[in-house]
Amino acid sequence: MEARPMKSLLIAAGLLALSLSAHAQETIVEYLSDDVVQTAFTENGSSDAQKLSSDGDEPIWAGTIDGYTIYLSGVACDEMNQQCQGLRLISIQNYPSNVTDKAAFLASTNEMFAAVKTASFDDESWMINYYVILNGGVTQQNINELTGIYVDLVETMFDRLSGDAEASE
């Protein structure tokens, strides 16, 4: 009768070992690259991602996902902007028409959505800024998922802040 609990324990240990082994085989992204960014955009439904700049500044890519233009830039890059140790996701949109006090709008948005930082981009638009440290321990799958989470968050923020929350839920 004690053989069954022992057999179940051995099966569970074997499954855990397989799971850990598969996790260990995932490629760790130590630096941001064109391939990493293209994969993250493609995995999240963008077919138009392209690199916008790389000379002089940190590299910037852009693509459209779910109707939003998403900018992804490298952060803490080497002198040649080839290897970056972090990534920043940004989306820029016009202020919702119901906003009269832009400073109050941004302050309440930053309080409501603590995972991102919002700021004024210019007189007519604002941006949502999300930063991820690669730090030698992030997989391509993590970057893909974080990009998807960011896009979902942007969509939720725009819906709620423009008064369309009831329509999207």
The domain spans of the chain are 28-168
What was the pLDDT predicted at 138?
75
19: pLDDT confidence band, cut at 50, 70 and 90?
very low
Q: pLDDT, tens digit, for every residue of 103-137?
A: 999 998 888 888 889 999 998 988 999 888 776 66
- 28-168 CATH fold: Yope Regulator; Chain: A, (3.30.1460)
Tokens found for residue 4: 């069954």
Q: What is the DSSP string of 60-103?
A: EEEEEETTEEEEEEEEEE-TTS--EEEEEEEEEEEPPTT-S-HH
Across the range 2-31, mean pLDDT stands at 50
Euclidean distance between the first and the last CA atom of the chain, given in angstroms as a whole number: 52
The SS3 of residue 136 is: coil
Per-residue pLDDT at 135: 67
